[in-house]
Amino acid sequence: MAVVTTEIDYEVEYNNRARVPEHPALIAGWARDAKAWREREGFHTISYGPGVRHSIDVFASRGEGDLVVFIHGGYWQALDGSFFSHLAAGLNAHGISVAIPSYDLCPQVSIDDIIVQMRMAARELARLGRRLVISGHSAGGHLAACLMATDWRSVDPALPQSLVKAAYTISGLFDLGPLVKTSVNDALGLDETAAKRASPLFWPPPSHGRLDAAVGGDESAEYHRQSRTIVDAWSRAGIATRFAEVPGANHFTAIAPLADPGSQMTQRLLELALDR
């Protein structure tokens, strides 16, 4: 009996804007809510490099927990941190400070360049004297995992190897290979070699810390596979991992719980920030 195999349509699986036709209204809502939070709460900005986008907005609170960093998505080619200021609200309500960096975008730079930029941002945040919990959405989830798996002593011998104590990824991407033959790659310019080099799934796993990987319940099978795969791989390497679904959420609404002080997502990040 012949075995029938079904080829995965990666364009369908990874084209989130096509999968969620209402995405323009959702993104406009992010910008509106983020502006309102900045005006209400205030923030200060730290520079980590010479470029206009080499900046980190810090929404400071007086609590004793470690610093939570949120890295935005946009497939490494869209948006900036100012669209996501309101996502600091949930943790700020519990006294946890939140830092939201921006970075240069493809095709002006490569994904490898962006990884380096986020390492420089983390190095700058280390000056604040707290360890980091790195959260991130979509491409930001990829970057969060990259920072978790970074050998910080090789970046700067003065940095503690445990600088990043945990990563909380939301709809993250950890194996970039499937993107190579999609329209997403028009701006990224990846070939198979570059995709594997930039994929934290194929890096040596971290030697410490925790990884939570969440994904919207209504997202594509590939997004679920991406998160489950890194959870399984890093768990086998001895890292404490968790997989979670955000019920009823699509790719654009999966981050909404971060703005809610009482959500399970915020409560979990609070637990990670307070864990000693």
pLDDT digits (tens, 9 = 90+) for 141-192: 999 999 999 999 999 999 999 999 999 999 999 999 999 999 999 999 999 9
Domain count, the chain: 1
Residue 165 lies in a domain: yes
Q: What confidence tier does 1 reach under pLDDT thresholds 50, 70, 90?
A: low
Percent of the chain with pLDDT over 70: 98
How far is 130 from 127, CA to CA, in rounded Å? Answer: 8
User: Among 2-16, 77-91, 101-115, 239-253, whose mean pLDDT is lowest?
Assistant: 2-16
Angle, to 10 degrees, between the axis of helix 111-125 and the axis of helix 139-148? Answer: 60
Name, in order, each residue with C-beta under 8 angstroms of 156's C-beta and a sequence gap of 6 or more: 123
Residue 31 lies in a domain: yes
pLDDT at 6 over 70: no
DSSP state of 214: E
**What is the helix (H) or strand (E) element at residue 232, kind and residue range?**
helix 221-236
Cβ pair 238, 250 in contact under 8 A = no
Of the candidates 11, 194, 203, 52, which has an alpha carbon nearest to the alpha carbon of residue 110? 194
Estimate to the nearest angstrom the gap between the alpha carbon of 141 and the chain centroid: 3
pLDDT at 265 over 70: yes
> Residue 2 CB: number of other CB atoms within 10 A?
4
How far is 273 from 276, CA to CA, in rounded Å? Answer: 8
pLDDT at 92 over 70: yes
Residue 2 lies in a domain: no
Residue 126 lies in a domain: yes
pTM for the predicted model, two decimal places: 0.96
pLDDT at 212 over 90: yes
Residue 185 lies in a domain: yes
pLDDT score recorded for residue 87: 98
Residue 3 lies in a domain: no
Q: What confidence tier does 4 reach under pLDDT thresholds 50, 70, 90?
A: very low
pLDDT tens per residue across span 44-88: 999 999 999 999 999 999 888 999 999 999 999 999 999 999 999
Residue 159 lies in a domain: yes
Q: What confidence tier does 2 reach under pLDDT thresholds 50, 70, 90?
A: low
Question: Which domain covers residue 244, as residue numbers?
Answer: 10-274
What CATH number is given to the structural domain containing 199?
A: 3.40.50.1820
List the Cα angle 103/211/162 in 5-degree steps.
75
pLDDT score recorded for residue 230: 98
How far is 1 from 222, CA to CA, in rounded Å? Answer: 28
Estimate to the nearest angstrom the gap between the alpha carbon of 209 and the chain centroid: 16
